[in-house]
Structure 1
Amino acid sequence: MAIDAFTTATAGLRVTQSQIGLVSQNIANVGTAGYVRRTLSPITAGPGNAGVASGTIARAIDAAALKQLRSETSGAAYTSTMAGIRTQLDALYGRPGDASALDGMFNSFTLSLQSLAANPTSTAARTTVISAASGLATTVAGAANGVQALRSGLEAQLDADTREASGLLAQLAKLNARIGATPTSDPSRPDLEDQRDQALNGLSGLMDINAVTLPDGSVSVLTGSGVTLLDRDNATVLSFAGRGTLTAEAAYDSDPSRSGVGTIVATTPGGGRIDLIASGAIRSGSMAAAVELRDTVLPQAQRQLDDLAAGLARSMSDRLATGTAPADGTKGALDIDLTGLSPGNAITLTVQDGGTQRNLILMPFSGPPPASLPAGGTDDSEATVIPFRLPGSGEGAPATMEDAVSQALAGGGYAVSAVAGGAAGAVRILATGSASLLAASASVTQTSSATDTKSGKTQIPLFVDGKAGTLFTGSFENGSQLTGFAQRIGINPAVAGNAATLVGITGTGASAGDSTRPQALYNALTATPRTFSSASGIGGVDAPTTSSVAEFVQGVIAMQGSATAAAQDLDEGQSIALSTAQGRFASTSGVSIDEEMSNLIALQQAFTANARVLTAARDMLDTLLRI
């Protein structure tokens, strides 16, 4: 009996000593990132299971809590990236109401025109208009440059994140191999599993993943959409071909040879290649947010600034032409004066056919039009775009504008003719089929060149395109003139060098004291409704919006401010969700000093009890030996 007690107490001491060592290890790693609390459950041993032995060291893991933690980590990384870039984007416009903010600079410009209209002979007032216009152009260009700087930063971030994700997958493959080869009884296995989970948590911050534990203890990793990234020790290699500094023209295309930005390619162990962006495989995490910001959010912000720059330029230099019902009462027709039509001065026809309303956009060219003309570059991304060549613009061009428009609409159920007794460029568009013609409009440039400041009309090319001072007409001759215009907008040197042109209208007999031109320019900015593209998103729906330039400025600022506030609110909510998930995981897997100290006291008592049994057994043996 004494021998049995001695054996049992000795085994108990060994188990208790192991448990005390494990508790000490837990306490020592209370602040170690990724450390999961260890537990040791004794098992019965010996004849009749009367003894005890150390069991396997296990980690206290709640699989459901761990899965939720990774999901919330991906979401938090996504919302944090979105909120951070949105905040930076909003800051590019300045604080609303500040004199140096976008709306403040615009208001300064319109007020300077109003002051000039009130005192057209004032040299100081003319100088102020030039200065305010220059400041506004600089502010718009600065914001647009900032947008592209943010896109370039995201391009660099995607490059770094892709390399980090690929490195984590390679690390996981090695850990999978080591875990699979390590017996569950090996005390080093929990350390390997901690390293594996830490790598998985890091990967979940970059992209949404789903980790599946296999029978041998290794894991397979898939994206949230189901693309396999890791299968035991076979890791997919992620690569990113960055484009460096991005421009307004740089856009994503599923064909790498045409894409202006980088894409994330997954190369499987078998050599297959998957474009993770084109396939929509990454849906959350910092990488998904970076892609969405680079390819959707920031390009829309650039388009808003481009539309604003175009609105400023064309309000100064263009005449709005609107279709009106014919004076002779012809039914189903609209008359529109297109005199002076320039390349890029798109003509928009709103038609209704079979109950469906849509837009036709006629795009004039001075040379051969491109093979394809994307509707996204026009005011209505859903419109049908029909290019045509202006009269006298080269071999094969129609002889007259009427012929050009008729040729563009050949077979479309419309007849185009000159307006009898109307202006030289006035045309009548008549719906001859089942379709109804609802509206016709165009923005027609009134100046022949950037140096044409004395046309005898109220319009003047105050804002021009680039250092060369090219007249802005919205041309598509060598690509879209609108794309990136916000970065190139500047003040016309011909006007800046002769501020008197802001008031004198040569050919009308008006004196330098005439306020007609500055008042007309002021009205064109603040009261005249213009069409802004659906791509700007200001209207809240996927359709063009009509407003004055002043209202469009306010719309841009309000939209960006609202989007920033929403992103920040979402990030705050996601941060709370992540904190909750971390707390839930920590409650099971984290180390609690109080709990471990309580366990330590209980184990010390068990150690003392086993020691007393050993003492009693020794005393019994000594007594027996002395008999």
Structure 2
Amino acid sequence: MGLTVAIGNALSGLKASQTALEVISRNISNAGTPGYHKQTLNVIEVGRGDNSYVRAGQVDRAFDTILQNYYTKQVPETAYSATRGTFLDRLQTALGKPGGAGSLDTMLGHLQNALDALATSPDNYAARADVVTKAGDMASTLNKLSQEVQSMRRETETRMASSVDQINSMLTSLRDVNLVLADYGVDQNTRNSLLDQRDRLVSGLSEMMDLRVDYNPDGTVRLATRSGASILDVRPSLLQFEQAGSLTPTSEFNIDDSQSGVGKLILETPNGTRIDLVKDGAIRSGTLGALIELRDTTLQDAQRQLDDIAAALAQVFSTVQRPGTVTGTGATVGAEDRAAMQPGNDMVIEYTDAAGIARQLRLVNVASPATSPRNYVDSNGARTVEVSASGDIGTLLDNLTAAGVSDLTFGKNAKGGLTIAGAGGAAVTKVTSRTTADTTATKTWPSTISANALGSVSAGALASAKPGDHISLEYEVAGTPLKLTLVNSSTPSTAPATGAPDELIVRVDMSAGAAGVKAQLGALTPPLAHLTFDSDASGNLTCATTAPNSLTSLSTTTTNESAYGLNLFVEANGEAFTNSLAGKGQRLGFAGRITINPEVVADNKLLVNWSGSAASGDSKRAEYLVDQFSSLRFGSNSTAGAKNGGFRMAGTLTDMVSQMVEFQGSSIQTALAADETNRGTLDAITSRMEANYGVDINEEVARLMELQNAYAANARVASVVQELLDTLMQSFR
């Protein structure tokens, strides 16, 4: 080997060592920098004959595509569970520890104890006042829990909006990084720094939403949702969050935009295509996925469970149970019981089928049932049909025919009552109409007058009439206004009596039904002029004037009996809760609106005075309400936890409170456990990445010492060769 070759090799070694020292210096200085990937110098040995030397090659950056993909998939799962865990931990704090002060089950227990004490001492003012106080505490607890749930739902939308801004900013930065990486003229050090920045941005985006990441040979990346919607491919898509305003319990997600009451998450691609990511289910994990699920499912499930409890609480006090008449294998529900039903009230028919299996049919009263009535099984296992139970008996029968109840047959009696009979060996065992208490002294039943001056009085109004109740008819004869008043009495009139000017008064026995009233009016002497009465197919009493006269007004006023039921809990505006299904249903959001009846607050004697004749020491109403707590059963209208098989609360009010506490406690603990598991999994992957990508200071220092020795050796070779060359040159002088 010649001296020139030796010095060339030494200088080449010095240059390679210098480059390696620069790489090690960068590694050590960035040892604590998040997202930094360790770099190593690729040293190339070059051999030519009996001569070989080294030169500095490419600086390699530690990167494992498979490991990186594992990390990219785990990051959104961990962010998803962490976000859910944070919110649900707050929900657990709001619900309180079961049996703890202020918890839902504790508040209900206090109310039950106060009611038990009232049943023992109904004339005790302090006992009545305690019931009012505990009832107010229960309503206040439901209000606060509902407010907390909706506050968290509103917070999810706020965080979704801020997350969208962060995503758009990171996408813009990643686009810029891609553009530089696509330029092959960029030096290696700059490229490696950009690759570190690329991976940090991809990690940040993965934390927000689940992504599919494709790494290109030039180091650039393409991003898409798991469903395939492009997020970044040369140009980034734009995410937009269109807020819907302040969320309330009735603000729910619906695939129909006109029905949806929550904000929309829109992805607008570079070519202008708009994709609703929530509607398409494109985001399943990450912080955004958790926020969407919390807003639309988890927290709304909690709201609906609170609403179910609030509804059951109101109905425990307000429900009046009216038993039907059972004879043989059939039964009858009187017209008066049907007429007392308000929207949302129901009729429960218990029967045994041909095989002797006990079954239930529940008829829910709705104002306008569908042509094909909704027909489903509730959470108590009862077949439920939505019908017009309180309206015309003919309409009710049509609804039941359309529903196709095979074990029972339905009909009507002369007084407009509903008859029920077992079919094919089935037998009716019990029928109960469950109506909402009405504490008004009288009830007016207005009638619609058709164009041909025909009016009618419902069979229910006739059947529920008490002595002294009356029907008022106003009509005109030759332009002169006249009035006829039919007063309910067990001793019908034989002749009309004169009341106020231009008014006739006739006593009729309304309990005889429409046909009986028609016969009584037809037997009057002298007969009624200008008016004709009849009984229609539904048992209603019809009235018409002879042409060219006109009927102008027709109404029935009856005395109201609320029995032992009491509207202790009402809507915020004072209206009774009837569980109406109209619109989105009265139940939705009721936990946030429920309040104690101001009339009871003003006069707590209403807790025991169930009628005008009830004494202050009468315990009938209190005992009835205590019994309602243990006997009246309710069910959820909706299913919670659908992803895990679904759960619907059912049973008594106490059962439902216990079920909600247990369900939410279990769901929250499951979410917290999932968060802990995902954190552990991510830590394991991160540790593996740290081992592969991270900088080991000890290793780098050891390598530094090796390079120092190699540098010194190369420098010594160069120095010795220089000395030899100097000596050689001097020998020629």
TM over 0.5: yes
2:494 maps to what in 1?
Answer: none
Measure, in 1, the Cα distance between the counterparts of 2:371 and 2:150: 28
Aligned equivalent of 1:604, options 687, 695, 708: 708
Q: Contact 2:332 / 2:417 at 8 angstroms: preserved in 1? A: no
Instruction: Report the AA paired with residue 405 of structure 1.
Output: L
1:394 maps to what in 2?
Answer: none
Larger-gyration structure (1/2): 2
Measure, in 2, the Cα distance between the counterparts of 1:216 and 1:138: 62
Q: CA deviation at 1:21?
A: 1.2
What are the residue-to-residue correspondences of 1:450-461 with 2, within 5 Å?
Answer: 455=561, 457-461=563-567
Measure, in 2, the Cα distance between the counterparts of 1:306 and 1:450: 30
Instruction: Return closer, same or farther for 1:327/1:432 CA change in 2, 3 Å cut-off.
Output: closer
Paired residue secondary structure (2:77): helix
Number of matched pairs = 607
Moved more, 2-11 or 374-383: 374-383
1:328 maps to what in 2?
Answer: 328
Measure, in 2, the Cα distance between the counterparts of 1:382 and 1:284: 38
Aligned equivalent of 2:162, options 139, 160, 163: 160
Identify unmatched segments of 5+ residues in structure 2. Answer: 444-558
Measure, in 2, the Cα distance between the counterparts of 1:243 and 1:585: 42
Measure, in 1, the Cα distance between the counterparts of 2:279 and 2:313: 36
Q: Contact 1:183 / 1:189 at 8 angstroms: preserved in 2? A: no
Larger RCO (CA within 8 A; separation ≥ 6): 1
Measure, in 2, the Cα distance between the counterparts of 1:359 and 1:227: 49
CA shift digits 1:112-154 (9 cap, x unpaired): 1111112211111111111110111011011011111110001
Aligned equivalent of 1:132, options 131, 134, 137: 134
Q: Contact 1:388 / 1:404 at 8 angstroms: preserved in 2? A: yes
What are the residue-to-residue correspondences of 1:271-286 with 2, within 5 Å?
Answer: 271-286=272-287
What are the residue-to-residue correspondences of 1:359-508 with 2, within 5 Å?
Answer: 362-366=363-367, 386-388=386-388, 390-391=390-391, 398=392, 402-414=393-405, 415-418=409-412, 427-430=418-421, 443-447=434-438, 455=561, 457-466=563-572, 468-477=573-582, 479-506=584-611
Q: Contact 1:301 / 1:536 at 8 angstroms: preserved in 2? A: no
CA shift digits 1:297-354 (9 cap, x unpaired): 1111111111111101011011346889x42234xx7869646211121456799999
Instruction: Return closer, same or farther for 1:528/1:165 CA change in 2, 3 Å cut-off.
Output: same
What are the residue-to-residue correspondences of 1:174-323 with 2, within 5 Å?
Answer: 174-183=176-185, 185-231=187-233, 233-320=234-321
1:531 maps to what in 2?
Answer: 634
TM-score of the aligned structures, taking structure 1 as reference length = 0.88
Measure, in 2, the Cα distance between the counterparts of 1:457 and 1:249: 34
Aligned equivalent of 1:62, options 61, 64, 67: 64
Q: Contact 2:347 / 2:363 at 8 angstroms: preserved in 1? A: yes
Measure, in 2, the Cα distance between the counterparts of 1:267 and 1:380: 46
Instruction: Return closer, same or farther for 1:621/1:184 CA change in 2, 3 Å cut-off.
Output: same
What are the residue-to-residue correspondences of 1:98-117 with 2, within 5 Å?
Answer: 98-117=100-119
CA shift digits 1:573-627 (9 cap, x unpaired): 1111111010000001011111111111111111111111111211221121122
2:342 maps to what in 1?
Answer: 342
Identical positions, percent = 33
Measure, in 2, the Cα distance between the counterparts of 1:143 and 1:451: 37
Instruction: Return closer, same or farther for 1:191/1:118 CA change in 2, 3 Å cut-off.
Output: same
Measure, in 2, the Cα distance between the counterparts of 1:25 and 1:16: 14
Q: CA deviation at 1:462?
A: 0.3
Q: Contact 2:213 / 2:221 at 8 angstroms: preserved in 1? A: yes
Residue 34 (structure 1) aligned with residue 137 (structure 2):
no
Instruction: Return closer, same or farther for 1:438/1:513 CA change in 2, 3 Å cut-off.
Output: closer
Paired residue secondary structure (2:345): coil
Q: Contact 1:373 / 1:385 at 8 angstroms: preserved in 2? A: yes
Instruction: Return closer, same or farther for 1:74/1:413 CA change in 2, 3 Å cut-off.
Output: closer
Measure, in 1, the Cα distance between the counterparts of 2:641 and 2:624: 26
Q: CA deviation at 1:390?
A: 3.7
Paired residue secondary structure (2:60): strand
Instruction: Report the AA paired with residue 267 of structure 2.
Output: A
Q: CA deviation at 1:219?
A: 0.9
Paired residue secondary structure (1:56): strand
Measure, in 1, the Cα distance between the counterparts of 2:349 and 2:63: 65
Instruction: Report the AA paired with residue 590 of structure 2.
Output: F
Q: CA deviation at 1:214?
A: 1.1
Instruction: Return closer, same or farther for 1:588/1:372 CA change in 2, 3 Å cut-off.
Output: farther
CA RMSD in angstroms comes to 3.5
TM-score of the aligned structures, taking structure 2 as reference length = 0.76
Q: Contact 2:387 / 2:400 at 8 angstroms: preserved in 1? A: no
Measure, in 2, the Cα distance between the counterparts of 1:419 and 1:30: 91
Paired residue secondary structure (2:617): coil
Paired residue secondary structure (2:618): coil
Instruction: Report the AA paired with residue 593 of structure 1.
Output: I
Instruction: Return closer, same or farther for 1:610/1:561 CA change in 2, 3 Å cut-off.
Output: same
Q: CA deviation at 1:358?
A: 11
1:566 maps to what in 2?
Answer: 670
Q: CA deviation at 1:8?
A: 1.2
Moved more, 613-622 or 221-230: 221-230
